[in-house]
């Protein structure tokens, strides 16, 4: 079973658990037997383009963030490997700022949450699925992800199927977007992440409280999960790409549930596809 996780947030982004410290997360990983993690909090923006509140650390906070990781890396070096990183979005025009962020950390994961519309305003994929993306938007979204890999930004593509939040079903356009993303991941040898945060939020963390329902009751909630998207991963399994799970931890309680979350993701995707996918055995 995967004993590493490269998708870990901190209180600095403003929408993760404000009571959890960086060290608190590290202690939970050690307790659960993890051997390597990367902190990949939502990146700060040098040019403030994403104007939403509580989405990311301030640019001025980045040194303190990296220093905190460095201290933990040294303190826990005999128990767990700790890397630094950011979760970033690609936007045309931001290439140099992204490269500047990349230079200072071990890992960059691309979690593409928006695109520019025709007037250069952000069109954001929201977690409630209220804003829908058009067919053209979806292809643009996939092309942004392709571009990020082409210019060498990410080590991992987080939730490559997130775009399903902004769509009503998996049809020809979704298939086309999936193929663009997978073809690019294969070409540039970039891993794709099966993201477990949507399962966590829907099955375990409604109303910001952990539920303790029996597993059969929890399983009934799985039909509400949008990503991982079964059809996306069926197509991905036909490519020669590396795959890994990402816990995308924002809350206390998420790390302890990793086995259950892996299991539920496998049930959504289906064993036939899971067995075909090329999971990373060790770290990357």
Taking the least distance from each CB to Zn ion, the nearer of 88 and 181 is 88
Please state, in angstroms and rounded to a whole number, the distance separating the CA atoms of residues 164 and 230. Answer: 11
CB of 171 to Zn ion, least distance (A): 27
CB of 219 to Zn ion, least distance (A): 25
Q: 225-260: b or e for each residue (b if 16 or more CB lie within 10 Å)?
A: bbbbbebbbbbbbebebbbbbbbbbbbeebbebbeb
Nearest to 45 by CA among 10, 8, 17, 87: 87
Taking the least distance from each CB to Zn ion, the nearer of 173 and 249 is 249
Q: Give residue number: closest CB to Zn ion.
A: 248
Q: Which of positions 60-119 make contact with Zn ion (CB under 5 A)?
A: 87, 111
Q: What token pair was written down for 51?
A: 């104007």
Taking the least distance from each CB to Zn ion, the nearer of 57 and 173 is 57
CB of 13 to Zn ion, least distance (A): 6
Q: Tell me, residue by residue from 218 to 257, as one string, x for binding to Zn ion by CB under 5 A and - for no binding.
A: ------------------------------x---------
Please state, in angstroms and rounded to a whole number, the distance separating the CA atoms of residues 258 and 247. Answer: 7
CB of 250 to Zn ion, least distance (A): 5
Contacts of 270 (CB under 8 A, 6+ apart): 230, 234
Contacts of 3 (CB under 8 A, 6+ apart): 33, 34, 35, 36
Taking the least distance from each CB to Zn ion, the nearer of 108 and 173 is 108
Residue 22 engages Zn ion in binding (rule: CB under 5 A): no
Please state, in angstroms and rounded to a whole number, the distance separating the CA atoms of residues 254 and 25. Answer: 10
CB of 63 to Zn ion, least distance (A): 21
CB of 111 to Zn ion, least distance (A): 5
Taking the least distance from each CB to Zn ion, the nearer of 109 and 173 is 109
Taking the least distance from each CB to Zn ion, the nearer of 157 and 177 is 157
Contacts of 248 (CB under 8 A, 6+ apart): 7, 9, 158, 159, 195, 196, 197, 200
CB of 155 to Zn ion, least distance (A): 14
Distance of CA 95 to the CA centre of its chain: 20
Taking the least distance from each CB to Zn ion, the nearer of 149 and 196 is 196
Which residues contribute to the site for Zn ion (CB under 5 A)? 87, 111, 248
């Amino acid at each position: 079973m995967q004993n590493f996780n490269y998708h870990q947030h901190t209180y600095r982004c403003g929408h993760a658990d404000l009571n959890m410290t960086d060290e608190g997360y590290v202690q939970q990983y050690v307790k659960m037997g993890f051997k390597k993690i990367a902190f990949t909090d939502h990146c700060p923006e040098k040019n403030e383009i994403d104007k939403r509140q509580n989405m990311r650390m301030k640019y001025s906070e980045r040194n303190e963030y990296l220093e905190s990781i460095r201290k933990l890396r040294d303190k826990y070096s005999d128990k767990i490997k700790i890397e630094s990183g950011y979760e970033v979005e690609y936007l045309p025009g931001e290439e140099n700022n992204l490269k500047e962020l990349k230079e200072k950390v071990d890992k960059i994961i691309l979690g593409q949450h928006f695109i520019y519309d025709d007037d250069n305003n952000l069109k954001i994929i929201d977690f409630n699925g209220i804003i829908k993306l058009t067919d053209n938007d979806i292809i643009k979204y996939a092309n942004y992800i392709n571009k990020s890999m082409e210019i060498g930004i990410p080590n991992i593509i987080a939730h490559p199927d997130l775009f399903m939040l902004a769509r009503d079903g998996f049809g020809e356009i979704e298939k086309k977007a999936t193929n663009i993303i997978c073809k690019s991941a294969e070409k540039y040898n970039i891993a794709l992440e099966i993201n477990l945060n949507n399962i966590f939020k829907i099955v375990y963390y409604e109303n910001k409280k952990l539920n303790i329902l029996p597993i059969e009751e929890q399983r009934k909630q799985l039909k509400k999960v949008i990503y991982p998207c079964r059809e996306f991963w069926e197509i991905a399994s036909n490519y020669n790409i590396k795959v890994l799970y990402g816990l995308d931890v924002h809350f206390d309680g998420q790390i302890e549930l990793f086995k259950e979350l892996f299991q539920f993701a496998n049930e959504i995707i289906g064993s036939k596809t899971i067995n075909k996918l090329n999971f990373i055995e060790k770290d990357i």
